[in-house]
Structure formats: C-alpha cells, structure tokens
Structure 1
Amino acid sequence: MRQMNMSILRKISRLFLVLFVFVSISCVGRRLTKANVDEVSEGMSKKQVESILGPPTELDNKDFLILKKTTYLYRQGKDTVTIVFKDDKVSEKQSTLTD
C-alpha cells in the first residue's frame, strides 16, 4: 500500500513538473518593448520586422494602382505600435510605448 502511494506521488510530481515547464515555455516570447521597436528601421522587410516584433495583432492591406500599402498593428495592454509598409518595405512607424 505504501509503495502504491509513493508511485502515485511520483506521478503527480511529474505531472506538476511537466505543467510548470509548459507554462514557463509558453510565457517566454518576444515582448513589445521600446528597444525592440527601435530596432525596426526604414526599408526593412516584413520578415525582418516579424523576426523582431513577432506577428502583428492586426494586419491591413491596401493595393493601389501604383502602390501597395500594408499596416501592421501591435497591441499590448494600452500600448500600440504601428508599422507601415509601402511596397513591402517599412516606410514609417509609430509607438505609444514608454519603456
């Protein structure tokens, strides 16, 4: 009986360990920070921006006859970051981050 209880305790301990690791890993990620936004510069591609900031919260595409405009919007709490691409290159950025 005692051996059975120890076996159950080990299984429960392992379950908690696995859950802890899973939660820890899921909390790790790119955070929207002023330093990261400052890394984004004019002329960068969408892929370069996403490698720094991650995928956008919202995406807006507009195709004009002579120009393609894409806007990436990132939200984190009350803060927002807007990155505007013209012909798939960063043309402007705006941020309310105050880090």
Structure 2
Amino acid sequence: MKNGQTRNLTEPMYYILLILTNPHHGYGIMQKVHTFTEGRVEIGAGTLYSLLSKFTAEKLIRIDSVGERKKTYVITEKGRDVLEKEYQRLQRLVRDGDRILTRERQS
C-alpha cells in the first residue's frame, strides 16, 4: 500500500489479516484459515510467508513475540483499517449483487 493507495485484497490476504486480529504464528494462521473457511481457502507456506513479509514491511502487521522456533504476528491499526475497508467493499459488492439478482428473480 504505497503512498496511501488502497487495493483489493486477495482471499488469502483478507483471511490472513482477519485471523491476525488475534496473535498467531505462521503454521497456526494456515490452520486457522483452513478451519475458518471449512477448507475453501488453502494458503501454502510460500504464499503465507511471502505475505507476512510484505504485510510486515507495509506495517499492516507486526511481530508480537518471538519464541524458540516461531514468530507470532498480530494486525496493526493500519492493517485493521485496510481490513475494515476491504470488508466494507465486499459488503457493497454483495448488496449490489442482491439488488440485481433479486430484481431478476422477481421478473
């Protein structure tokens, strides 16, 4: 998110930020996303750690703690703002779809 630009989040990005509203370590994030989405969204280790690195650099998340073999991450205020904006955008998409699809069903 350079220079205040916003962008749409991919599903993995969205779910990582959503899960990090509570602190989790990398493998825990993958498990939580899998469970939360009932297996619909799978995040591989390469994708996860690439996004964690990117999110950390963009200050959307921060390292909460460092253990012997794992780091725990948590969302920042900036990350929460990005997540909230994406949530609102997705709600608008659903409302727009409902308006059109409901109208079609009534015709």
Question: Which TM bucket (shorter chain)?
Answer: 0.3 to 0.5
What TM-score do you get using the length of structure 2 for normalisation?
Answer: 0.31
Pick 1 or 2: higher relative contact order, CA cutoff 8 A, min separation 6: 2
Structure with the greater alpha carbon radius of gyration: 1
Question: Which structure: greater helix fraction?
Answer: 2
Question: Which structure: greater strand fraction?
Answer: 1
What TM-score do you get using the length of structure 1 for normalisation?
Answer: 0.33
